[in-house]
């Protein structure tokens, strides 16, 4: 090859890499996992794959969905990691995913993976209430045991909840109530709860933090945030509503447009390893990966040993197909 030929060849190679955005040893993951959980998982992954750098964008479930759809003509990430399956099964999102079955995929139960191998779930979260026992005593409030209890006017202004329009946790709670009561009665029931609502916020975990600090007595959140705050020493008791707890599973998948599929696939493979499963047992209410077991401390904090006994039978297909309509209706009725 002539000197000119070598220069042209090098230029073409550089141009190809520039167009693809490929970076050997580097991937970008979009997630809705809690930041502290994601850090623990990534630190563990780094020990196994020290040559793979994972760039992370963390947003609440609803905001992440808006970001993914806004970028759909030019996606900027390689994998979706730990995102609410109710959002993942949006046909517009599924169209962006490439079928891939990581090592261990066959061990994941059918309800936690896509038949067409576009996504699989590793963890999940369960709805619950974080109740500040000191604040309840100071304000002479009983500890609620159910959603029905939250309609009592005695709790007026003492409840904080994630917005169903922006938070996957918020939507989980609303979808569970509408499925439990039926839509007509479900909206009326939520109206009664809304009368006692102090505030709606974007974050799924922050209502529990606000209850832990005593700003509100009751934070409608998810179970494991309550577990964490109890273990941290906050005066919180964990309440799983007696009607049954709504739940969501957190799904992951490979983008068709990934610029570094080999490393993206290695990351997805790791999510189903026993090492990862051990971390899930320490940091998640539920896991779809065999080998994940809650620690004694977590069970002592209030997580049931058998979570199947507390779960409301969620219809994820309904939740997904009705999300836009339901959240818009919620906005009209309750957003403030």
Q: What tens digit of pLDDT does each residue of 230-282 get?
A: 999 999 999 999 999 999 999 999 999 999 999 999 999 999 999 999 999 88
At 20, is the pLDDT very low, low, confident or very high (cuts 50, 70, 90)?
very low
Domains in the chain with CATH codes: 22-124+248-301 (3.40.190.10), 125-247+304-334 (3.40.190.10)
Output the average pLDDT for the chain. 91
Report the pLDDT value the prediction gives residue 238, as an integer from 0 to 100: 95
Q: How many CB atoms lie within 10 A of CB 119?
A: 23
- 149: alpha, beta or left? (left if phi > 0; alpha if psi -120 to 50): alpha
Lowest model confidence (mean pLDDT) among 205-209, 219-223, 285-289, 315-319: 285-289
Backbone angles phi, psi at 329, to 5 degrees: -65, -40
Q: Return the ∠ at Cα 256 (arms to 107 and 286), rounded to 5°.
A: 35
Minimal CA–CA distance to 104: which of 294, 287, 308? 287
Cβ atoms of residues 208 and 226 within 8 Å = yes
Minimal CA–CA distance to 177: which of 319, 320, 307, 300? 319
Q: What tens digit of pLDDT does each residue of 174-198 get?
A: 999 999 999 999 999 999 999 999 9
Sorted by sequence, the CB contacts under 8 Å of residue 24 that are 6+ apart come out as 260, 263
At 161, is the pLDDT very low, low, confident or very high (cuts 50, 70, 90)?
very high
Sorted by sequence, the CB contacts under 8 Å of residue 82 that are 6+ apart come out as 31, 32, 33, 38, 122, 123, 250, 251, 252
This prediction's pTM: 0.77
Backbone angles phi, psi at 311, to 5 degrees: -80, 135
Q: What is the bridge-based pairing of β-strands 247-255 and 97-98?
A: antiparallel
- Report how far residue 159's alpha carbon sits from residue 182's, in angstroms, rounded to the nearest whole number: 23
Q: Match 């974050």 to its residue by tokens.
A: 203
Q: What share of the chain is helix, strand, coil (3-state, %, to 5)?
A: 45, 20, 35
Average pLDDT of the segment spanning 153-182: 95
């Amino acid at each position: 090859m002539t000197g000119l030929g070598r220069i042209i060849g090098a230029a073409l190679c550089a141009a190809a890499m520039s167009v693809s955005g490929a970076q050997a040893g580097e991937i970008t993951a979009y997630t809705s996992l809690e930041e502290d959980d994601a850090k623990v998982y990534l630190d563990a992954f780094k020990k196994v794959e020290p040559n793979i750098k994972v760039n992370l964008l963390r947003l609440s479930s609803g905001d992440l969905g808006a970001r993914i759809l806004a970028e759909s003509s030019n996606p900027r990430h390689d994998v979706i990691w730990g995102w609410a399956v109710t959002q993942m099964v949006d046909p517009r999102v599924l169209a962006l995913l490439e079928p891939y079955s990581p090592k261990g995929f066959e061990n994941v139960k059918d309800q936690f993976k896509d038949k067409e191998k576009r996504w699989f779930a590793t963890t999940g979260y369960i709805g619950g209430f974080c109740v500040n026992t000191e604040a309840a005593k100071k304000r002479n409030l009983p500890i609620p045991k159910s959603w029905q209890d939250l309609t009592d006017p005695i709790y007026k202004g003492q409840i904080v909840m994630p917005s169903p329009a922006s938070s996957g946790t918020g939507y989980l709670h609303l979808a569970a109530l509408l499925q439990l009561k039926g839509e007509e009665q479900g909206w009326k029931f939520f109206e009664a709860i809304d009368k006692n609502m102090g505030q709606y916020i974007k974050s799924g975990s922050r209502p529990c933090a606000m209850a832990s600090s005593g700003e509100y007595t009751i934070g409608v959140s998810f179970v494991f945030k309550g577990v964490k705050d109890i273990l941290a020493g906050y005066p919180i008791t964990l309440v799983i509503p007696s009607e049954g707890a709504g739940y969501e599973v957190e799904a992951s998948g490979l983008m068709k447009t990934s610029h570094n599929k080999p490393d993206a696939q290695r990351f997805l493979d790791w999510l189903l390893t026993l090492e990862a499963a051990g971390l899930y047992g320490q940091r998640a209410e539920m896991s779809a990966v065999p080998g994940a077991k809650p620690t004694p401390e977590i069970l002592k904090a209030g997580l049931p040993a058998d979570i199947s006994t507390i779960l409301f039978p969620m219809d994820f297909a309904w939740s997904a197909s009705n999300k836009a309509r339901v959240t818009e209706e919620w906005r009209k009725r309750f957003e403030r």
